[in-house]
Structure 1
């Protein structure tokens, strides 16, 4: 069994989809206000509005993206104006993580894994 998709439910699909494309360096002309795919290969990442109001206090959701160099991504995200909650820090298990949130309050981690993992 494989995880097929992670879907972020939101009140503003265009805003959240544009945010994720921006931080992930993905381009798209899609402006669908109901559903958009961000990542389609492997485990998909999508954004969806099911028509029900959300409180946008998604404090139980975390997404982690593995990147080649978290320090370089940190600099890039600062240039995009992203508010970083936790700057890149080496974790006890060997990963180096940084932490920020999307406009709806979902927690996002960019991490670099040790080269021997």
Structure 2
């Protein structure tokens, strides 16, 4: 299988709150919005996220168990910017032995949004990286 792109689509009744959150805090750009379906690009590497209103008997997303990972150049600057903008962290900014420095906030539908920058992993974790 040759996969050309992967993106996440969340079925929710809170499309406008998600639109506002990702535009305001993560600089998302709307590429399609018909009211019940929203596509936004985030960053410059072809990353996109979608939200859609439930159609028929389609269940809505509950917000449990999903973490969206966003790699950035300067996690300290992003942390400062987002905290000053009024977001609250649910995981504090800290270095992690597996090879990053990051923190988490929660989006309007309960996704954990993990923002991080790569760091050198500790000796303990270096063995798990594959070439």
How far the C-alpha of 1:30 sits from its partner, in A, is: 6.9
Contiguous gaps of at least 5 residues in structure 2: 121-131
8 A Cα contact 2:104 2:114, kept in partner: yes
**Residue equivalent to 1:15:** 17
Q: Is residue 94 of structure 2 the alignment partner of residue 89 of structure 1?
A: yes
**Residue equivalent to 1:38:** 40
d(CA) in 2 for partners of 1:73, 1:82: 11
d(CA) in 2 for partners of 1:43, 1:31: 17
Q: Is residue 116 of structure 2 the alignment partner of residue 114 of structure 1?
A: no
Q: Is residue 64 of structure 2 the alignment partner of residue 62 of structure 1?
A: no
8 A Cα contact 1:5 1:44, kept in partner: yes
d(CA) in 2 for partners of 1:46, 1:66: 19
The structure having more radius of gyration, on CA atoms, is: 2
Cα–Cα, structure 1 residues 96 and 32, in superposed 2: closer, same or farther, change >3 Å?
Answer: same
TM-score for both structures, normalised by structure 2: 0.73
Q: Say which structure, 1 or 2, has more relative contact order (CA 8 Å, 6+ apart).
A: 1
8 A Cα contact 1:57 1:106, kept in partner: no
TM-score for both structures, normalised by structure 1: 0.81
Q: Which runs of 4+ in 1 moved over 6 A?
A: none
8 A Cα contact 2:13 2:53, kept in partner: yes
**Residue equivalent to 2:129:** none
Between Structure 1 and Structure 2, how many residues are aligned? 114
CA RMSD of the aligned region, Å? 2.4
**Residue equivalent to 1:49:** 53
How far the C-alpha of 1:27 sits from its partner, in A, is: 4.7
